[in-house]
Structure 1
Amino acid sequence: MYIPRHFEESREAVLHALIREHPLGALVVSGPDGLEANHLPFELDTEQGVLRAHVARANPLWRAAPCEALAIFQGPSAYISPSFYPGKAEHGRAVPTWNYIAVHAGGPLRVVDDPAWLRALVDRLTNRFEAGRPAPWKLDDAPDDYLHKLLGQIVGIELEIARIAGKWKMSQNQPEANRAGVEQGLRAEGGGAADVAEHMARLR
């Protein structure tokens, strides 16, 4: 990933927080038919320095391991109109761009074909994503024979994080007046654009 210095984010705590907030990552591996990408919800274990997930046994992705892999996580993003820049009305020297946040984590990928490991992983992921719901669903809510069958249809994968990089493209290369104009314009648009404005405000 090309990262100009003014867009670089290297603080591990910040990169890890983005992964936890946006756990659906694109896992890219090189298989027999070339590059292959799969979108998977990941568990981040900072103590072990790994990302964990599972795929369908029918998915050829896991057969590529052991191999090098890249997991890509993306945070809020938004189109940036030249009309957000105050200077545009004066000189017209402005073009559109896109603000976004991305984290790339790469390293060796291994397969974990262990029912106990898989059940523990699915249990942790379920508990995390069900947390805060009025009546959280638990793995034990399903019959044991049903779970046993489904767990046999998935395979675990674990990516060792050997490299991690973050890119926070949030108009840092623009004058302060333009950055303020972008924030104001994005907040007015609302939705995901307002999320980008919030990240810009944190950087400022």
Structure 2
Amino acid sequence: MYPPAHFQEHDIKQLHALVKQFPLATILVPDVRNSLNNLCHIPILFDETRNVFIAHVAKHNPLAQLNTKSVKLLFNGDNCYLSPSYSNNKTLPSWLYSSVQVIANVDIIKSNDEKDKIMRQLTSHFEQGFTPMWTIDDVPKEHRKAMYQQLAFIELTPTNWQGNFKLSQNKPLDVRAAIKHNLTLINKHTIAALL
């Protein structure tokens, strides 16, 4: 079994938290011309209340052609090299990471009202912390309509979540505590918090 059971993360709250903190998804899009996938990198917002991801892409993006199809979304959290010195020489050199894979069904949005609603939700979320905060209303209505014609608005409904958190879970608690302490010392707070 890969990944090993001790590196699999099943806590849906942990998976949602990683997606929220690291919203840039790598999306595997089937390519009929060869056996490999196309990749799209798209910031995506997960709306927990509706259990749906929302996004927009350029209308020529291959994802915009996959209405009703399934795609795989990959989200990567923080990662870092693990030196044996961080574990009092009780581990081999390794790499720590966290990732989430989601299989989701694609729904291309046609309604202009829904497109506007998605744009407003995305911008209000991603604009948090910016001063001044930009809003879609800063763009004149006619320009917005023209802009929306160049975009595909997408909802992706998850059908399967899978977490892979390789964080030395197979090591004794004292070794994990040493790793966490040393990661904190080098400002790897995000990954240390997961240990």
Q: Normalized against structure 2, the TM-score is what?
A: 0.89
Whether the 8 Å contact between 1:31 and 1:64 is mirrored in structure 2 is no
- State the secondary structure of the residue aligned to 2:2: coil
Change (3 A) 1:134 1:75: same
- Of all paired residues, the percent bearing the same amino acid is 30
Partner of 2:147: 150
1:76 aligns with 2:71: no
Other-structure match for 1:196: 191
Q: Does 1:141 align with 2:143?
A: no
Contact 2:103 2:161 in 1 (8 A): yes
Cα distance change, pair 13–195 in 1 and its aligned pair in 2 (3 A): closer
**Contact 1:115 1:152 survives alignment (8 Å):** no
| SS of structure 2 residue aligned to 1:47 | coil
1:33-85 Cα offsets, whole Å, 9 max, x none, are 33011111112123332212111012223213332211111111111112222
| Structure 1, gaps ≥5 residues long | 89-93
Q: Which runs of 5+ in 2 are unaligned?
A: none
Q: What SS does structure 2 have at the residue aligned with 1:183? A: helix
SS of 1:162 mapped into structure 2: strand
Q: Deviations over 1:124-155 (max 9, x none)?
A: 11111112333211110112222111111000
Higher helix proportion = 1
Determine the structure 1 residue equivalent to 2:23. Answer: 23
User: How large is the Cα RMSD of the aligned pairs?
Assistant: 1.9
User: Whole-Å Cα distance in 1 between the matches of residues 164 and 191 of structure 2?
Assistant: 13
Runs ≥4 in structure 1, deviation > 6 angstroms?
none
- Residue in structure 1 matched with residue 117 of structure 2 by the alignment: 120
Write the letter of the residue equivalent to 2:191: V
Write the deviation string for residues 97-138 of structure 1: whole angstroms up to 9, x where unpaired: 111111111032232233322221111111111123332111
One-letter amino acid matched to 1:188:
L
1:67 and 2:58 correspond = no
